[in-house]
Amino acid sequence: MRVDRTATRRPATDAEAKALASSLRLRILRMCLDEPMTNAQLAQRLGRPPASVLHHVRTLAATGFLEALPAQDGPRGSRPVPYRATRKSWRLSETRSARPMIEAFVESAAGVGDDELVLSRLGLRLSDEGCAELRQRLQEVVEEFAARPPDPGGRPWSLFVALHPDPDRD
């Protein structure tokens, strides 16, 4: 079940918010975005025990964030199930807490070389209207790129954008 990226955003239900309240689950969703992965593959890549990862995978599947694909033939008669992200999380307007998203970014960015991590930090002083305009324009750019179909020969990239009041300035 692929989710329409042009659909209207809505608030997360309690179950959806709880499912997305884990940086590990957010990383699992990102890992299964373009290429379905089995629980064993996820556990190996994350360096976590398969049973622990399976709990998170089942939570994401039960809330519609992951979809199970047909089982594959595995070694010694096993039947591993690949999972693919449905992109449902993109259609949520809020998930209660941004902390897991920040933690997922930090965990993922730790595995990227400094030469490939592009960061900007900017202090601004804006009116409420100016801030609303900036938010809208950022959202439009992100939505535009999110609506593009994946490039089969392209390299996977992640984008993390945060806009917040600056507690270090008054």
pLDDT at 2: 44
DSSP class per residue in the chain: -PPPTTSPPEEPPHHHHHHTS-HHHHHHHHHTSSS-EEHHHHHHHHT--HHHHHHHHHHHHHTTSEEEPPPPP-GGG----EEEE-SGGGGEEE-S-SHHHHHHHHHHHTTS-TTT-----------HHHHHHHHHHHHHHHHHHHHSPP-TTSPP----------TT--
67/58 Cα distance (integer angstroms):
10
Residue the block writes with tokens 């079940």: 1
Q: Which residues contact 122 (CB under 8 A, 6 or more apart)?
A: none
Domain ranges of the chain: 10-147
CA-closest candidate to residue 20, choices 107, 88, 76:
88
pLDDT at 94: 67
Fold annotation for 10-147:
Arc Repressor Mutant, subunit A (1.10.10)
pTM for the full predicted model? 0.80
CA-closest candidate to residue 2, choices 44, 33, 47:
33
- Token couple for 45: 């890549």
- Average pLDDT per consecutive 10 residues, the chain (170 residues; last block may be shorter): 58 91 94 94 95 96 96 81 93 78 91 90 94 94 89 90 84
- Token couple for 64: 């519609």
CB burial of residue 122 (10 Å; 0-12, 13-18, 19+): exposed
pLDDT at 6: 52
